[in-house]
Every structure is written in structure tokens, then in C-alpha cells.
Chains A and B, each alone.
Chain A
């Protein structure tokens, strides 16, 4: 059984069937890519995993436990982190403060009344946050205001905020969109390294096929809310149905 088991998930928005009978099994310590044309329902599917949306039918199990009906913070505390399609960071805070918040959340849980401690005294967490910033090549930006950075940097920051919590399952929604080529390659390297070093599973949505084929162990192609095929990257490349439905439009 996979670390993430999705069975018969369906979601409608009014008359639109955004997801229909989605079955998916993500194996532990693999990178599972979900690809598909715009509007296929990829982000909607992730939303159903993390408590942002409640599917109309079906079940989502993480490590054998249902994720449905749980709040986002509970799901995150269980070890599921998410990078959003449009970067979600604390724009008013500095990069370092952005990194400290997930560190506190990981150590202290969903709520702790630490009103009389000082952030500056948490040398262990500061070190951890700094190390993560070094890993994503952002340590020189530690005092910058997060909102004033480029979109690519915001994404890298968001990814670092997720990774510093050492999640078991990392959900990435187009993590390299808006990044320069060099940053995209750095991100691929970073994710590869993380995958080798840590006990982590990733589900990644991506339009950039270079990223997908560099990272993925399995690929699911989603079209109009239902999985078309699921297979290894090599077989997906050769599958005529996929070429027609999706790859034909984006490659070359």
C-alpha cells in the first residue's frame, strides 16, 4: 500500500465535474508526477488532499489515516506540506522570519503560548533555518522583505519553508513556474538531493517536461478530471495516447 492512497475521488463545482473517479497510489520514497493540460484538475486534486477542498465522494488515506474532514494545520502537522501554484509566503516579514515560523510549528505544534521567549534566543532553530537557506542558495537574502523578491525567489523560499519541516509527503504545484533556467536546474538538483538524503515522498505537478522527466519515478496523466494513464516516465513518453492528449502540445 502506498503512503498516499486516493480512491474514487470526485469533485464538482456547480455544473463542472472538476474531478471524477480519481484513483491514485503514491508509493513511499518516490516522486510521483501529475501532468495534464490546463484545467485538468491537478490543483483541485491537491486541494482535496490538504483540506482546502472536501471532495464530494471518495477517500484519501495518508499512512492509512483519512485526511478528509481534517483542517489544513492538522494535515500539515501529520507531515504533509504543500507548495502552492502561486507562492504563499509571509510577504510582510523578512526571509529569515518566514523560515522561523515553520521551524516553530514543527517543534511546538499547532499552538503554543510562547509570549515571553525571544525569537533571537532560539539559536538551534535559527541555525536550522539558516542551513536550509544555504541549501536553497538564499542565505544572502535572509534580511530581505519577502514580498520584494522575484517570483522565482518566492517559490524557492516557499519550498525551503516546507522542506525545513522535514515533511513525509511534499506536494509541489508547479514549483519551477516563473523561475529562470538556472534556478530551475538548481531546484531539480535540490529536490534530487533531498529525495536521496531524506525519507520523503513527493507528488509534483509540473508543465516543464524537463523537470518531470528528471525527477519522476511514476507519472499520472490527468485529463478532464480523470487519470488517463499511470506509468513509468519512459512508457509515458512512448504512449501514443498521451502524446496526442498532452505531450504533443508542449514538447518542441
Chain B
């Protein structure tokens, strides 16, 4: 189906199901239980899952396949957001104008930045991309204030032209009248499920983005990108020019980032320079490594885990900790809370740092490798003699897993 073999079709269908069912799957705990705070089925968070999933999927096409580690992809995120907000200001709140522009503009920027940065490889490439991104950040923050509105950030004002704005048109981002921040709430007993327009818009785009990336992974082009990571010397002596391949991968991943940035502004009509900060570039690197570099699911998984943790851990405050550890003797409780409070709230980065270190040290293949190990453990216990030995040990790992 759709140019995919049986195995990949099944894989895609599972991803589609999980994505569409997210508002239900992420709401496992009833509202009245104390565990309800671990639910993740609210629009804002689910939108971020989808958007950062797109960002990470695109980043993985560059980093996962070719091995070129960019530290500047947040620049494209910013360009995408500014494009969309500008279209709100000039035309109207329909996201249909801004998103294509976001993809095209970030693609053009990626072409220029990639062309220059890819003259070097390894750490020098990373530094060049970082330098470009910091330059873009500074331009957005101060030099280009007329375009970016500097520190304040770009937003829509009532005196903006909005030449296509109709009298009855919604005054927040929408797609032909489907308003992004509207949701349908369904109460089922003690459970509340929120089906948000914005989330489903992002989710459908994320599924398309995932499908395109799956096709790229299986294509001759994808094979060449993996060959670049494996042995560039052999690639050259096979008669292939690595430069246009890496540049194409860079531009594609830049366009994914621009799309993600555009979607951020489609959910919330704002664009700020801080979106281009190097910390945002670093975050997508963490997501990709945490989930599993070069795998299809890894980056999405990594994006989900980091965004979930950010949300859950930053919500926990001292009061919550007291309610958890209240049963301990007073002195011990004080001590435990003293330690724990550094890992929650604004200190959640400590937790993500610890998790990241554990994964890199014990699971260099990321969470996907963890999943594979667990699967292998079960398979071994089951004693699968029936398995064709030719299809197991020592084989090149399938990139889909």
C-alpha cells in the first residue's frame, strides 16, 4: 500500500492508530484519582508531542542517516513561526497561507546554511551550524526588529492589514473555519477525553511527515545517506558525490523544522526569538539520541518522553512532594524533599539530564534498543526454534525498529 511493503504498511497503520487515539490513550487515570496528574491527554501537551515529533523525525533524516550532527536546527523552527505569524498579519488567520511559506522559506535558508556548513564535516560542521543558528537568533532578537518585533516577539495587532479577513472569520488560527483551539470534550464516567482540532491538525501532518520519512528510509536516496554515515571514502570511490546528498538531507530536515515551527505558531499565534536559541537546537539532539538515532520510531518516542517529562516534572512543587512523603518521619521527610525538589519544578532538567545519561551509558541505541532487548528477552524465553536461523543473528539491523 502507498509504495510500502507489507511490514512497513503494518508499521504505518500502527503509528496512525496510536496517533489518532492519543487523546484516549494518554488519559488512563480517572479524574478523581491522585494519579490524574500523570495524564497527558490535554490539547496543549498533545500538540507539542506531534510538533516536536515532526521536528525530531526531520532531524533524524540528517543526523540519523548521514551522521551529520547539526546544532542549529532551531533557526528553522523560528523561521517557520515568523512566516506563519506574518501571514496572519498580512492576510488572515487561516493557517493555509503561512505553513507552505514556512516550509519553503526554511528550505531556502537551509540551502544556504547547509551549503556553507557542509564544506566541513564532524565537529567543524556542528560548530558552523551552531554559529549560524546563534547569528539567526541575534538577528531576530535585535537587528531585524522591524521583521521580528525583537524581544517582545511577533504577534498580531488590531491595526494589522489582514486583507483577507472576513467579517465573520474567527480571530484565532484556523483552517478554513476549523478553529485550532476548539475542542470537543467527552465525559465517560470519571474519565474526560478532549478531542482538540489543533491536535488533530498537527497529528495528520505528523502522520504525513512520518510517511514521507519512511519512504525516504526505504529509498535509494536513503541508502546513499546511510552509506555516507558508514564510509564516505568508499562512497566517493563508488562514483557518488556525497555533497549534494548531504545537502539534500540538510534541506529536507530544515523544511521539517520549519514546518514544526509553523505549527507552533498555528497553535498559538506568537513567534519569539527564543525559539531559535541553541538550547532548542540541543533539545532535538537529545530527543533523537534518547529515542534511538537512525531508527524510525526513536525520535518520535524521544520527543514524547522529553515533552511528557517536562510537563509532569515541572508541575510538581513542594506541596505535592509534601503530600507524597508526608508519611515519613519529619526529619527524614525534610531530607527527602530537600533532595527531590531539585529534580522537579524548574529543576526538571536535572531529571532529564540523569535520564539522558542513563540511556546513553546503558542503552546507546536509545529507548528503541531498550524495547528490542525486552522483546528479545521474551523471544528467548519462548524458545523459538521455529525461527529461521538465517533470519536472525548477525544480521544488519532493520532500520524500521
Query: What residues of chain A have their CB less than 8 Å away from a CB belonging to chain B?
Result: 50, 71-73, 76-77, 81-82, 84, 88-94, 97, 100-102, 104-106, 108-120, 122, 143-146, 148, 158, 161, 165
Contacts and interface: CB of A to CB of B under 8 A. Distances in A.
A26 B274 CA distance: 63
B61 to A, nearest CB: 10
Contacts, number: 126
A104 B396 contact: no
A228 B240 CA distance: 36
A115 B224 CA distance: 10
Contact of B223 (A82, A101, A110): A101
21 contacts: A72-B237, A73-B238, A73-B239, A73-B240, A88-B237, A90-B227, A91-B230, A91-B231, A92-B230, A94-B395, A97-B226, A100-B223, A102-B238, A105-B239, A110-B239, A111-B244, A113-B221, A115-B215, A115-B222, A116-B215, A116-B219
A182 B219 CA distance: 38
B394 A118 contact: no
B387 interface: no
Contacts of B190: none
Given A115-B252, A119-B222, A145-B396, 18 more contacts: A73-B239, A73-B240, A73-B241, A76-B236, A88-B233, A88-B234, A90-B231, A90-B234, A93-B227, A101-B224, A105-B239, A110-B241, A116-B219, A119-B223, A144-B394, A145-B397, A161-B234, A161-B238
B396 A50 contact: no
Contacts of A146: 396
Q: Is the interface of B mostly helix, strand, loop or mixed?
A: helix
A53 B397 CA distance: 36
A86 to B, nearest CB: 10
Contacts of B248: 113, 115
Given A105-B238, A111-B245, A145-B396, A119 B229 contact: no
B396 A117 contact: no
Nearest to B390: A143
Nearest to A118: B218
A106 to B, nearest CB: 7
B397 to A, nearest CB: 8
Interface string B238-261: 111100110010001000000000
B219 A115 contact: yes
Given A90-B231, A91-B231, A116-B3, A106 B239 contact: yes
B396 A81 contact: no
Given A88-B234, A89-B234, A143-B395, A114 B219 contact: yes
Given A97-B223, A116-B3, A148-B394, A76 B237 contact: yes
